[in-house]
Amino acid sequence: MKYRAYNAGCSVKEIPILFSDRKFGVSKMSRGIFWEALINVWKMKKEAGSGGGMDQFLKFALTGGLGTITNLAIFFLCADIFRLPEIPVSIFCFFIAATQNYIINHTWSFRRNMAKEALSLKKLLQFIILSLFGLTVNIGAMKIILLRFIIPYKFIAQGAGIACGMIVNFVFSKRLVFRRKEGE
C-alpha cells in the first residue's frame, strides 16, 4: 500500500514500531498469507515497470531454449544423419542459434532496455563475440563427454555443452550487451 501511495506522488513518513519477541503462542501468518505477500510485491514491481530482472531471466531462458532446439536440430541432422564432423557443425549451429537469440532477446527479452535502440550489426557482433566464451565452454564440455563416455548420439553431448555455455552467455548478455543505458 505504501509503495503504491509513493508511486502516486504522495509523501510517505515512516513511524517505527517496536515489536518484542513472541514469548507465547504461535504466529497468525499462514503460508497462504506469506505467499500472497511475496507475489504481491512482485506484482507491484511489475506494475511499476521495475520487475525486469525475473521477467528478463525467464524470457532469456525461453529464448535460450528455442536457440538450443534450433542448435540441436541442425546439429543432429548434420552430425548424426549426414555424418559431418562435430566441431565445424557445432560452430555453424552456434552462429545460427546466436543470431536467432540476439534478435529475440533484443525485441522481446530485453525490450525495456533496448526500446530506443534498433537491431544493429554492432550489437549482434558484440553478442556473438561474448557468446564465443560460451561456445568455448560448450565445445569443451561436449568433447570431454564424447571422449569419456559412450553415448548413442553425439547431440546428447552437445546438449550438455549448451547447458554449460548458457551460464556464461547469460552473464555476459545481461551485463554487457543488453544493459540499460545510463539515464533511462
Residue by residue, pLDDT tens for the chain (184 residues) are: 666 776 677 777 777 777 777 777 776 767 777 677 777 766 666 655 555 577 887 898 899 899 999 999 999 999 999 999 999 999 999 899 999 999 999 999 888 888 888 999 999 999 999 888 888 998 999 999 999 999 889 989 998 998 888 778 877 888 899 887 765 5
pTM value is: 0.60
Q: Report whether 159 contacts 68 (CB < 8 A).
A: yes
Question: What does the DSSP assignment read for 101-123?
Answer: HHHHIIIIITTTTTTT----HHH
Comparing CA positions, the residue from 155, 52, 141 lying closest to residue 105 is 52
b/e burial code for range 55-75 (CB count within 10 A of at least 16 → b): bbeebbeebbeebbebbbebb
In the chain, where are the structural domains located? 2-17+27-47, 52-177
Q: What is the spatial distance between Cα 107 and Cα 124, in angstroms, rounded to a whole number?
A: 12
